[in-house]
Amino acid sequence: MTKAFVLALSLSLVAGGFALPPRASLAAGDAISQVLALRDASLILEEDGEVRLAHQADKPMIPASTMKVATALAAIRRWGLDHRFHTDLHIADGWLWVQGGDPYLVSEEMDRLVAGLKAKGLGSLAGIGLDDGLFSPGLRIDGRSSSDNPYDAPVTALAINFNTLTLTNEGGKTRGGEAQTPLTPLAREIAARLGPGKHRVNLKDRETALRYFGEVLAAKLEAAGIPVKGGLRYGQVPAGAKRVLRHDNSRNLRAVLAPMLEYSNNFIANYLFVLLGGKDGQRGLDMARAQQAARTWVDKEFRWRDYQIEDGAGLSRANRLSARQLLELLKAFSPYRDLLPAQEGVARAKTGTLKGVSTYAGFVRRKGRWEPFALMINQPVAYNLRLEVADTLARASDVSRYCPGSKC
């Protein structure tokens, strides 16, 4: 998957689906002062291990995509940064069965998987079987809507390109978004419904996602000289099937989390969130188990009160964290600070955006040190306000003037 495609996709993957407007000057007034004047805003900054500024820091707020930092930390604690997710491939009665378990199976990675099968001497296949039973077929994520936007992609255990695709209809012809992603029959059907122009869309539901996965795999197998004679089957890998390959993703967890945080990829975040809800090899994982696992982890790691975690991406408006809780989370995340997106040398932090929600949490560079901060705004404001707050936190020689005694 090309960097250009991932960057373009990221503009739609941001929770809430808001494109990022150009930097614009704010209305007159210091950015921090503007935040302190808001009714539904909280802000906290720690410096040299002491809280220097705290405004409504214990008020539970909607965190939006800053929730992804919690998911990232939980994943690191569970698997470690060198962990690689895998896909198992089995043969039963001439059928190739694929068993899902990898959140980052993109087109290039599927090429490596197919090369691995080719190296095993795999010949013609009767068909392809798809086993996505790792996740419950009724998996439902609060906050996910029925839009075509990539940030609303369904989360399935078997998925290609985060259950999204890019298509262009031009001059009566349909083209795929990337050379490494074949234009399948399903892609053509979707393109016919979209009309002219370039489109980035999600695959809507589990059935559509599995069919598309199977079609892309079949096309890549054919291109590698492994003909597929039959169609697709869905279900559990048959008893007695022989595993012919365990494909470990070329990306380790570090290389999965960095783009998840930079591009605010909801699919990856909630895939990991669901995985965290079960033991390795357990099937039928769902959001209820994931939410319980999140509560258990939080109780052990932080002992918070008055919080709510509904999903791992921050899509749900029922999520609740306080700025102080986010700060504590960030301090635990400090060894992995380089995974957070960079803001022009001023900050390394994660944004969060929903309608009427603007958040920003991470580290600002103050006096040669990285200091943790969390900003949560639960009312409509200019997108750039949070960026200006980080700029001001980095530049201000003395933040105590905003909050004498640190609390205001």
- Write down the pLDDT at residue 29: 58
Note whether 340 and 363 are within 8 A (CB): yes
pLDDT digits (tens, 9 = 90+) for 8-49: 444 444 444 333 333 333 333 599 999 999 999 999 999 999
Q: Which two tokens stand for residue 31?
A: 């950015």
92: DSSP letter = E
Report residue 286 as tokens: 């769902």
Residues of the chain with pLDDT under 50: 3-28
User: Which of these, 85, 84, 107, 114, lies nearest to 245 by C-alpha position?
Assistant: 114
pLDDT 10s digits, 81-134: 999 999 999 999 999 999 999 999 999 999 999 999 999 999 899 999 999 999
How much is the pLDDT for 53? 96
Q: Do the bridges between strand 232-234 and strand 127-131 make them parallel or antiparallel, or are there none, so unpaired?
A: parallel
Residue 131 tokens, joined = 């086993």
Under DSSP, the state recorded for 405 is: T
